[in-house]
């Protein structure tokens, strides 16, 4: 190889190296430019016919005869360098417009090398001596082929080289057919020439054989490629079909999203909303048009950002999905609670391209939860209040204790552990009869509430009383599931009641005794008194005026004293009889005892010229004899305690509720308010016997009678004006 040829190869290879690296572009252009200049100058020498002195400028060529210009590169080589260096300059610039001309020039240089190489292989002087390429050395040709191929490959993805390197079917076809088109004719040609030289056949046949073999081999390879293309086409169609099907899946998915009840929203990676389904429109009130292109921030109340921000942050950092509950602001301003599932949306290479949010409206659920919490709190408060006040225990259907509160433990003196699992028999005080307990169980096992008082025995043996309510709680099967017993300690009040009852019984007994005594005493006193009084009367009748004045006075006192004592004993007897010797209560008209009383008082009424008026009187239940005494005492007093005026007495009756108030009004002397209570006490009088006669028993008797009839008696009065004595009688007054 000539020195300049080798130098040009090095320059071109340097430029190619720069181009392949995509750096040092200017240096590459300079190198290619130098190669171009050297080759052009060499070619010029052939044209102008004399040497420019560049051929042996560096190295002296001793191998080439002088007649052939020693050291000068062949014209074909020079032309090839011009082509390849121009191509390199154009391609190094990287301008897309220059790619195709650059590749065409590189191809020209490649063909030059190929022609030279083919000539050598076929040993056909006609070929390798073809035009200027005649003198190209074999290694030079090979280097040009390599340089051309390398230059084309350095711009593999552009221009028409891209057609061959393409992944598409055309590229595949070209890559398979080009080697056949290049290599096959050379091999076939070489074999045919070799066969002819060996004398197997006439060289004239070469053309025919070449045509036949080329047709067959090309036909076969084209057929093979067609079959392969057909297969590829079938695959493509299958892919298309699958793609179409995938398109349907997309439509189905879209339909599912649109008809879902959950609000499904998708966002791009930067948080911009890209889709908004119908449920989201319904749930948040915004249309897809209003929301696509916006962010979710519009729906998030200001104070509720933090919770979900963490979840979203995690998703952005790579988590696949997350969940949170949050508040959302509806377009109308109202707030709703949502449960949101957030997921990353990944493409087929697993790269996150956005976020999807699937939200369910849980406002109702939240509200119910809150209500439930509120109810629970209320129940807890109630329970706390109950525990504060009452003794509470819960038992299972068999009566085994499953729960006791602190008060239960305190009053029973047992620890909770000692009580749980036991039944109430451990507190049994043996006070209640078997029937009592049977009735209790019969009530609660039927699902009815039992209420009553129970005496229990504490651990230390002392007794306590509890007012108990046992409430059975029924199961779905209609049988009691548990019993809740609420008790309150009534030990103290039971003790008080017991004491009171004992005292009352004692009092009743002694009252009875006293009444009995008063009755017997007054009854028995009557007899001797009657004798004293009778004798005194006789004494008065026989000896009055016959003895001295002193004796008359004594007799008078004796008679009067005996009479007074008789009246006293009679009144006392009446008084003591009220409780013990009363008649049967029966329905009577009050007018009847009034009439009897008036008859008894007829003399007095006449004497004093008293007027008695009366309202219509009611029918009541009562003891006629006692009511006569009552009326007689009150009317008698009304006349007795008269003033200057002629006595006027009025008996009135007014109904109030189911009771009658009967009043006896007079225009007598009246009573000071201080004595309103006192006058009803036995033997209490406001006047001396000289002023007004009497025993002081009348009003006390009236009080006993009214009380026996279940009523009250009282007085209203203005001194000097008159008094009103009133008493109540119940419509249905029964014996007390
Ligand atoms: P007695 O009439 O025997 O004195 P009572 O028990 O009937 O006893 O009355 C007690 C006292 O009440 C009377 O002494 C009298 O002072 C007073 N009193 C009773 N009725 C009247 C009346 N209608 N007007 C004024 N004072 C009365």
CA of 695 to the centre of ligand 1 (A): 9
Is the pLDDT reported for residue 586 higher than 60? yes
Looking at residue 130, its pLDDT comes to 52
The pLDDT of residue 123 is: 67
Among 679, 690, 703, 716, the mutation site with the greatest number of ligand 1 atoms within 8 A of its Cβ is 679
10: left (phi over 0), alpha (psi -120 to 50) or beta: alpha
Q: How many Cβ atoms from other residues are within 10 Å of residue 266's Cβ?
A: 20
Mean pLDDT calculated for residue range 341-360: 88
What's the pTM value of the predicted model, to 2 decimals?
0.44
In whole angstroms, give the CA distance from residue 49 to residue 52: 10
Q: Which atom of ligand 1 is found nearest the CA of 686? A: 16
Q: Is the CB of 663 under 6 A from ligand 1?
A: no
**How confident is the model at residue 235, as a pLDDT?**
81
User: What is the distance in A from the centroid of ligand 1 to the CA of 727?
Assistant: 16
CB 122 within 8 A of CB 186: yes
Q: Tens digit of pLDDT for each residue in 473-504? A: 998 888 899 999 999 999 999 999 989 999 99
Q: Atom 8 of ligand 1 has which residue's CA nearest to it? A: 696
- Nearest-atom index, ligand 1, CA of 725: 23
User: How many A from CA of 679 to the centre of ligand 1?
Assistant: 7
User: What 3-state class would DSSP assign to 188?
Assistant: helix
Which of 419, 376, 412 has its CA nearest to residue 391?
Answer: 412
pLDDT, one tens digit per residue, over 532-572 is: 889 989 988 998 888 888 988 998 888 888 888 888 888 88
How far apart CA 714 and CA 680 sit, in angstroms, is 9
State how far the Cα of 687 lies from the Cα of 693, in Å rounded to an integer.
Answer: 9
pLDDT score recorded for residue 733: 43
CA pair distance 155, 260, nearest whole angstrom = 53
Residue holding tokens 């025919």? Answer: 208
- Cα separation, 7 vs 39, whole angstroms: 10
Q: Is the CB of 81 under 6 A from ligand 1?
A: no
> What pLDDT sits at residue 131?
54
- Residue 723 near ligand 1, beta carbon < 6 Å: yes
Report how far residue 591's alpha carbon sits from residue 316's, in angstroms, rounded to the nearest whole number: 105
Pocket lining: 292 vs ligand 1, CB cutoff 6 Å: no
Q: Which residues, listed in sequence order, are joined to residue 340 by a DSSP beta bridge?
A: 324, 359
- The token pair at 671 is 């009573």
Of 482 and 579, which is predicted with more confidence?
A: 482
- Residue 233: which pLDDT band, with cuts at 50, 70 and 90? confident
Q: How far apart are the first and last CA of the chain?
A: 158
Q: 667 CB under 6 A from ligand 1?
A: no
- Name the token pair of 674: 């201080």
Phi, psi of 722 (to 5 degrees): 140, 175
Render 423-436 in DSSP notation, one character per residue.
BGGGGB-S-S-HHH
pLDDT tens-digit map of 143-177 = 999 999 999 998 888 888 888 888 778 888 888 88
The token pair that represents 222 in the structure block = 């084209």
CA distance 684 to 698: 10
Classify the C-alpha dihedral 591-595-597-598 as positive or negative: positive
For range 38-48, the mean pLDDT: 89
Pocket of ligand 1 contains residue 664 by CB under 6 Å: no
577 falls in which pLDDT band (50, 70, 90)?
A: confident
Q: Are 388 and 412 in contact (CB under 8 A)?
A: no
Residue 575 predicted with pLDDT over 50: yes
Of the candidates 679, 588, 587, which has an alpha carbon nearest to the alpha carbon of residue 633?
679
**Is the Cβ atom of 662 under 6 angstroms away from ligand 1?**
no
Distance (Å, whole) CA 223 – CA 230: 10
pLDDT confidence bin for 394, thresholds 50/70/90: very high
Give residue 637 CA to ligand 1 midpoint distance, Å. 6
Q: What is the pLDDT of residue 134?
A: 54
Per-residue burial over 671-708, b = 16 or more CB atoms within 10 Å of its CB, e = otherwise: beeeeeeebbebeebeeeeeeeebbbbbbbbbbbbbeb
Quick one: pLDDT at residue 191? 87
> How close is the Cα of 656 to the center of ligand 1, in Å?
27
Judge if the beta carbon of residue 647 lies within 6 A of ligand 1. no
Nearest atom, ligand 1, residue 684 CA: 10
Residue 181 Cα to chain centre, angstroms: 80
Protein residue with least CA distance to atom 2, ligand 1: 694
Q: Tell me the mean pLDDT in the region 607-614.
A: 94
pLDDT, mean of residues 642-652 = 94
Tokens of 256: 């599912």
Residue 324: beta bridge partners? Answer: 340
pLDDT of 723 above 90: yes
Is the minimum distance from the CB of 696 to ligand 1 under 6 angstroms? yes
Tens digit of pLDDT for each residue in 666-686? 999 999 999 999 999 988 889
Per-residue confidence at 650, pLDDT binned at 50, 70, 90? very high
Residue nearest to atom 7 of ligand 1 (CA): 698
* Percent of the chain whose predicted confidence (pLDDT) is above 70: 96
Q: Is the Cβ atom of 719 under 6 angstroms away from ligand 1?
A: no
Which ligand 1 atom sits nearest the alpha carbon of residue 669?
A: 25
Lowest mean pLDDT among 40-54, 94-108, 127-141, 626-640: 127-141
With vertex at residue 521, the alpha carbon angle to CA 520 and CA 527, rounded to the nearest 5 degrees, is 95
Residue with the larger pLDDT of the pair 736 and 298: 298
**Would you say residue 695 has pLDDT above 70?**
yes
| Minimum-distance ligand 1 atom for the alpha carbon of 696 | 8
695 close to ligand 1 (CB < 6 Angstrom): yes
Task: Check pLDDT > 60 for residue 129.
Answer: no
Q: What is the mean pLDDT of the chain?
A: 88
Instruction: Tell me the sheet residues that pair with 456.
Output: 428, 464
Mind listing the pLDDT tens digit for each residue in 302-328? Answer: 766 667 888 888 888 888 899 998 889
pLDDT digits (tens, 9 = 90+) for 498-522: 899 999 999 988 888 887 887 888 7
For ligand 1, whether the C-beta of 668 sits within 6 Å is yes
pLDDT, tens digit, 9 for 90 and up, residues 372-384: 999 999 999 998 9
């Amino acid at each position: 190889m000539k020195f300049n040829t080798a130098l040009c190869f090095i320059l071109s290879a340097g430029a190619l190296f720069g181009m392949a690296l995509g750096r040092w572009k200017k240096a590459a252009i300079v190198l290619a430019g130098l190669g171009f200049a050297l080759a052009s100058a060499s070619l010029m020498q052939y044209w102008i016919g004399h040497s420019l002195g560049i051929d042996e400028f560096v190295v002296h060529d001793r191998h080439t005869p002088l007649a052939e210009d020693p050291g000068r590169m062949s014209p074909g080589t020079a032309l090839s360098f011009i082509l390849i260096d121009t191509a390199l300059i154009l391609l190094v610039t990287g301008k897309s417009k220059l790619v195709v001309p650059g590749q065409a020039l590189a191809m020209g240089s490649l063909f030059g090398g190929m022609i030279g190489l083919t000539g050598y292989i076929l040993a056909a002087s006609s070929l390798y001596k073809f035009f200027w390429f005649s003198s190209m050395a074999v290694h030079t040709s090979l280097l040009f082929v390599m340089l051309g191929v390398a230059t084309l490959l350095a711009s593999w993805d552009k221009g028409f080289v891209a057609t061959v390197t393409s992944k598409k079917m055309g590229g595949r076809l070209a890559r398979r057919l080009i080697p056949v088109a290049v290599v096959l004719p050379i091999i076939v040609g070489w074999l045919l020439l070799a066969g002819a030289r060996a004398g197997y056949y006439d060289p004239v046949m070469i053309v025919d054989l070449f045509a036949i073999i080329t047709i067959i081999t090309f036909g076969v390879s084209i057929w093979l490629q067609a079959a392969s293309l057909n297969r590829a086409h079938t695959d493509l169609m299958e892919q298309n079909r699958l793609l179409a099907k995938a398109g349907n899946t997309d439509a189905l998915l879209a339909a599912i999203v649109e008809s879902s009840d959950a609000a499904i929203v998708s966002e791009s990676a930067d948080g911009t909303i890209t889709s908004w389904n119908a449920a989201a429109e319904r749930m948040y009130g915004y249309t897809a048009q209003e929301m696509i292109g916006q962010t979710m921030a519009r729906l998030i109340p200001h104070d509720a950002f933090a919770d979900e921000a963490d979840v979203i942050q995690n998703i952005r950092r790579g988590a696949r999905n997350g969940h949170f509950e949050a508040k959302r602001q509806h377009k109308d301003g109202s707030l709703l609670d949502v449960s949101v599932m957030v997921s990353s949306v990944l493409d087929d290479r697993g790269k996150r391209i956005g976020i999807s949010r699937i939200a369910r409206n849980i406002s109702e659920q939240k509200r119910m939860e809150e209500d439930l919490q509120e109810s629970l709190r209320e129940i807890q408060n109630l329970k706390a209040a109950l525990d504060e006040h009452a003794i509470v225990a819960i038992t299972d259907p068999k009566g085994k204790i499953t729960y006791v509160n602190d008060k239960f433990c305190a009053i029973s003196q047992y620890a909770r552990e000692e009580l749980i699992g036991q039944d109430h028999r451990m507190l049994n005080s043996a006070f209640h009869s078997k029937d009592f307990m049977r009735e209790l169980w019969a009530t609660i096992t039927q699902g009815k509430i039992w209420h009553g008082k129970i005496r229990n025995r504490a651990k230390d043996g002392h007794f306590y009383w509890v007012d108990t309510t046992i409430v059975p709680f029924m199961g779905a099967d209609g049988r009691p599931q548990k019993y809740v017993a609420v008790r309150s300690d009534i030990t103290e009040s039971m003790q008080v009641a017991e004491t009171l009852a004992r005292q009352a019984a004692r009092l009743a007994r002694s009252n009875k005794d006293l009444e009995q005594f008063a009755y017997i005493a007054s009854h028995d006193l009557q007899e001797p008194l009657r004798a004293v009084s009778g004798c005194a009367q006789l004494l008065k009748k026989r000896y009055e005026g016959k003895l001295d004045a002193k004796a008359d006075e004594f007799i008078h006192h004796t008679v009067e004293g005996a009479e007074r004592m008789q009246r006293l004993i009679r009144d006392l007897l009446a008084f003591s009889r009220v409780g013990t010797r009363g008649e049967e209560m029966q329905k009577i008209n009050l007018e009847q005892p009034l009439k009897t009383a008036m008859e008894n008082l007829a003399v007095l009424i006449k004497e004093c010229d008293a007027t008695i008026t009366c309202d219509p009187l009611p029918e009541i239940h009562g003891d006629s004899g006692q009511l006569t005494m009552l009326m007689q005492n009150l009317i008698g007093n009304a006349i007795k305690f008269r003033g200057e005026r002629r006595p006027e007495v009025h008996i009135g009756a007014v109904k109030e509720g189911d009771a009658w108030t009967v009043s006896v009004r007079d225009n007598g002397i009246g009573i000071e308010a201080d004595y309103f209570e006192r006058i009803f006490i036995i033997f209490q009088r406001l006047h001396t016997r000289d002023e007004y006669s009497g025993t002081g028993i009348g009003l006390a008797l009236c009080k006993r009678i009214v009380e026996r009839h279940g009523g009250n008696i009282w007085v209203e009065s203005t001194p000097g004006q008159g008094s009103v004595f009133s008493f109540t009688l119940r419509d249905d007054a029964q014996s007390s």
